[in-house]
Structure 1
Amino acid sequence: MFQEAQAATLGSQLKKDGVRFAIAGYTDLHGNLKGKMVPIDHFVQMANGSELFTGAALDGLPQDVSDEELSARPDLDRGVVLPWRKDVALFLSDLYVAGEKFDASTRNILGRQTQAAAELGYTFNLGVETEFFVLKDGDSGTDNVSDRDTLDKPCYNVPALMDNLGWLQELVDHMNTLGWDVYSFDHEDAQSQFEVDFDYADGMTMADRVVIFRTMAAEVARKHGAYATFMPKPFADRTGSGAHFNMSFGDAETGENLFASDNDPRRAGLSDIGYHFAAGIVRHAAAICAVIAPTVNSYKRLVRQGSMSGSTWAPIFASCGDNNRTNMLRIPLGGGRVECRAVDSACNPHLAAALLLAAGLEGIREKTELKEFHTENLYDVDPMDYQKRGLELLPRTLEEAIDAFEADPFTKEVCGEKFWKAFIDYKRGEWESYATAVTDWERDQYLKFY
């Protein structure tokens, strides 16, 4: 409901702080930031939904060109002043049509699931490990920023990290200005790959922050003569970029971590409710992959080999286990949370969070049990033993993932029919475009082969 007094007070404070413009923002199917900008004197009108959008102009907002326009209604409690443009404030928004929430908005889809969790007495807590590459436009367009970033195993490489500290420091300072509490950042397993870790928040806040983070990283890198890419697997011989989701439930009244346990018989530190949550995700893992690994390129990351360091660190099975990075779902050392390692940096964070949360809630409601708990290195399991060990491969291609997404009634229930169909249609088109493209590899392999 529109709070005119809150909007008027907030608008006055923003103007006093030097903000000249405000953005009513939202995301498309891909999680890319869209929106309109208004002068700060029109903030109250913007907060009341004055900014209108034609969904037919964007991916994944299923409307006909003749439909009533969508109205963006800003979330006034989660707005931010952009640290790199202090005269601009950004407010992620819920989309409305005809006075009602637009079912096919991914932020609204997540909102429905966080409300479902709240009705059970849970707060959905989420932390996201942001991995990405920062590169220069050289002769190849993919040059490393640091000329010392040449190791086959560059993980935690301090000299290369120091060479990138200019843009990294600026990015971290911006994040801390926003109160995100960055507690660690490092050079990751691939050349020119980095990870920035910051404090968890409730699911909606964190999904908004991931959208803002991607925009902010791109702006900062550009300022320093480079560019940030969240493509999951830019290089065949380097590790891909994940966006591991670390999930738990807090008691809505006390804040107590309901996933933590001192009496876990598996000694992983996870409660029964946490295991039911994980089991729900494993049950729907193949369908969820279409959302958490949403591109053709995503499935070149979800392989057991393919990096100079000797490991991809990415899951290939719908599995859960202890502090073991070969599982899709990992219970990190100390317990109290479930980490999904199949999520990559190209996902729409609101949609990814919604599907994972919904599957977990189903597992809790139905008290679903994990059939297997894996502590072994799953990369070493012989294919002949998959069935015996209760292992099911994750989809190997985007086409397989979309097939699973379409076949599982759960996805339509969570997404709503309009978005569900729009997502399938778009992703099938993306796959067909890729499948019919002729690549350099094919020409090199076959042009003069016969």
Structure 2
Amino acid sequence: MSKYSKEDILRIVEEEDVEFIRLQFTDIFGMLKNVAITKNMLGKALDNRCMFDGSSIEGFVRNEEADMYLHPDFDTFELFPWRPQQGKVARLMCDVHCPDQTPFMGDPRFVLKKVLKKARDMGFVFHAGPECEFFLFHTDEEGQPTTNTHEMASYFDVAPIDQAENVRRDMIMTLEDMGFMIESSHHEIAPGQHEIDFQYTEGLATADQIMTFKMAVKTIAKRHGLHATFMPKPKAGVNGSGMHLNMSLSDLKGKNMFEDSNGKLGLSKVAYQFIAGILYHMEEMAIMTNPLVNSYKRLIPGYDAPIYIAWSAKGNRSSVIRIPSSRGESTRIELRCPDASVNPYLALAVCLAAGLDGIEKEMSAPESVDDNIFVMSADEIQKRSIRQLPETLGEAIDAFREAEFMKEVLGEHIYTKYLEAKESEWRQFRAQVTDWEVEEYLYKY
């Protein structure tokens, strides 16, 4: 049942003195876009008659196909707590439609909704919860971000060592004002690194919340004179920022389908098949869970990030999937490789599609790897058939390029546009001469 009706939104806008409404959507790279309308135009927008130029959005449409329409999701209506109390600002997340009012195949939100419908047709409801890590850095005299931080706090430290405790407090209070259920927050391992976790929920709501979360965190950081970044590895020599994804399936009545109290590990057949599907497709979907050149600077040994395509029932953090210890209705899997530079709609879509593929094809999960893979010999890793995540964006592109499954999940439009963009990004990176190369080779050669 919907949270809001059209009449509810019009009434709230009037009662709360809302003057502007931002109609938000994402491009295929997960960048949040919006068009602002005044309250006088809200009725038109709620009737799906708000048009925009799709040719100006990267990865969307050609000039001759420019007219696109925004269809607001009424349940995403929220006030921005950080805006003025007179002439307030609200937002609505939107689906993108073509002039004939059919869903636009290049809309990432549509892709996720399509896979969620497939899950529901199979009798499943998909739930997910992210663990979002980010850095807080100082800005320079012109307000531009740096990678400088004065604090030297580490994991779970408290104030005054953790100098950003009050910043996180403001972020959490803002998020709660926007309807988030915050479960925990803390300082992370690296100086300037933080984590805020919010409540596990249904897949589409989770993706919407990730987009809202990043916007709110960046906004509140700026009010404190800081820059919040979800870049996976902004500094060498310290841990990078991940976004572990916790996932589970329930039946249509809400029963956790990953739980089996009679199973050896408390896991059901469906859970094993879901795990098997993700492991099977991991290389080809890595470009969606780790989309940047910089993403692969995080995925190296020694910095608490996984590089091996394996799963562990005992919390082994060297494997890409681990099973948190809680069981019963809290039974879930944790995919540890993603980072917050993802497009959450596409990342969740490919994760769910891969898991469903494992269920449909009744795939068998390999044995749980409970030993630290980082200390295994190459021979032992090979003997146990443990594969490795792509080491670079280039390797991820190669795996994605040959992936018919990814093309089917994402659709021809997004698959082609995304591949073209990432190939261009990789070529540009390969053409750069880095400071490390100059320092390492200029004097020697």
User: TM-score normalised to the size of structure 2?
Assistant: 0.94
| Distance in 2 separating the partners of 1:56 and 1:399 | 28
The separation in 1 between residues aligned to 2:284 and 2:198, in whole angstroms, is 29
- CA deviations over 1:189-219 (Å, ceiling 9, x no partner): 1110000011111100010010011111010
- Tell me what 1:78 maps to: 76
- Letter of the aligned partner of 2:372 in structure 1? N
Q: Which moved more, 1:70-79 or 1:415-424?
A: 70-79
For residue 372 of structure 1, report the CA deviation from its aligned partner. Answer: 2.7
Deviation of residue 138 (structure 1)? Answer: 4.9
Distance 1:256 1:41 in 2: 44
Report the counterpart of residue 396 of structure 2 in structure 1: 401
Counterpart of 1:270 in structure 2: which amino acid? L
The whole-number CA distance in structure 2 between the counterparts of 1:293 and 1:161 is: 32
Q: Does residue 1:33 correspond to 2:61, yes or no?
A: no
Partner of 2:285: 288
- Cα offset for 1:160? 5.4
What residue is the counterpart of 1:332 in the other structure?
324
- Does structure 2 retain, via aligned residues, the 8 Å contact 1:291–1:347? yes
Corresponding residue SS for 2:231: coil
**Cα offset, 1:355, TM superposition:** 0.4
Correspondence for 2:346? 351
1:247 partner letter: M
| 3-state SS of 1:66 partner | helix
Distance 2:347 2:440 in 1: 37
CA contact (8 A) 2:162 2:187 kept: no
Deviation at 1:342, TM superposition (A): 0.6
Secondary structure class of the residue paired with 2:196: strand
Determine the C-alpha separation between the residues in 2 that align with 1:251 and 1:378: 34
Map of 2:146 onto structure 1: 141
Q: In structure 2, what is the Cα distance between the partners aligned to 1:38 and 1:362?
A: 42
Retained in 1: the 8 A contact 2:152–2:161?
no
- Cα separation, 2, equivalents of 1:187 and 1:28: 31
Q: Does 1:90 align with 2:91?
A: yes
| Match of residue 418, structure 1, among 400, 413, 417 | 413
Check whether the contact 1:160–1:187 (CA below 8 A) recurs between aligned residues: no
- What amino acid is the match of 1:215? M
Kindly report which structure 2 residues correspond to 1:29-428, keeping only aligned pairs within 5 A, or say none. Answer: 29-61=28-60, 63-85=61-83, 87-97=88-98, 98-138=100-140, 141-144=146-149, 147=150, 149-150=151-152, 154-159=154-159, 162-252=162-252, 254-265=253-264, 267=265, 269-305=266-302, 312-322=303-313, 323-335=315-327, 336-428=331-423
Q: Distance in 2 between matches of 1:383 and 1:80?
A: 52
- Describe the SS at the equivalent of 1:170: helix
SS at match of 1:444: helix
- SS of equivalent residue, structure 1 residue 158: coil
Q: Measure the CA separation in 1 of the matches of 2:405 and 2:317.
A: 27
Q: Distance in 2 between matches of 1:161 and 1:370?
A: 44
Aligned CA distance change for structure 1 residues 160 and 397 (closer, same or farther; 3 Å) = farther
Q: Which amino acid aligns with 2:170?
A: E
* Equivalent pair of 1:371/1:390 in contact (CA under 8 Å): no
- 1-structure distance, mates of 2:135, 2:66: 40
The question of whether the paired residues in 1 share the 8 Å contact of 2:134 and 2:195 is answered with yes
Residues 160 and 251 of structure 1, relative CA distance in 2, 3 Å threshold: farther
Which secondary structure does the structure 2 equivalent of 1:441 belong to?
helix
Change (3 A) 1:160 1:194: farther
Asked if structure 2 preserves the Cα contact closer than 8 Å seen for 1:20 and 1:40, the reply is yes
SS in 2 for 1:117: helix
Q: 1-side partners of 2:117 and 2:349: how far apart?
A: 11
Q: Distance in 2 between matches of 1:107 and 1:33?
A: 12
Q: Closer, same or farther in 2 for the Cα pair 1:190/1:19, shift >3 Å? A: same
Q: CA deviation at 1:178?
A: 2.3
The Cα shift of 1:325 comes to 1.4
Q: 1:344 and 1:426 mapped to 2: Cα distance?
A: 19
SS in 1 for 2:388: coil
Unaligned runs of 5+ in 2: none
**Count of residues paired in the alignment:** 432
Q: 1:27 to 1:161 in 2, by over 3 A?
A: farther
Contact 1:125–1:203 (CA under 8 A) maintained in structure 2: yes
Q: Deviations over 1:125-176 (max 9, x none)?
A: 11011100011125992221xx4x326xx11121356421222111100111
- What percentage of residue pairs aligned between the two structures are identical? 33
8 Å contact kept, 1:8–1:44? no
User: Any conservation in 2 of the 1:314–1:325 contact (CA below 8 Å)?
Assistant: yes
- Letter aligned with residue 81 of structure 2: P
CA distance in 2, matches of 1:270, 1:221: 41
> What is the RMSD computed on CA atoms of the aligned residues?
1.7
**Aligned counterparts of 1:79 and 1:388: Cα–Cα separation in 2:** 53
Q: Measure, in 1, the Cα distance between the counterparts of 2:334 and 2:161.
A: 26
**Counterpart in 2 of 1:309?**
none
Residue pair 2:9, 2:77 contacting (<8 A) in 1 also: no
Any conservation in 2 of the 1:182–1:198 contact (CA below 8 Å)?
A: yes
Note if contact 1:7-1:43 (Cα within 8 Å) is conserved in structure 2: no
Distance 1:135 1:176 in 2: 24
Structure 1: unaligned runs, 5 residues or longer:
306-311
Q: Structure 1 residue 184: deviation in Å? A: 0.9
Q: What is the one-letter code of the residue matched to 1:264? A: G
Cross-structure match for 2:19 = 20
Amino acid at match of 2:397: I
Distance 1:43 1:178 in 2: 20
Distance (Å, rounded) in 2 between the aligned partners of 1:286 and 1:243: 18
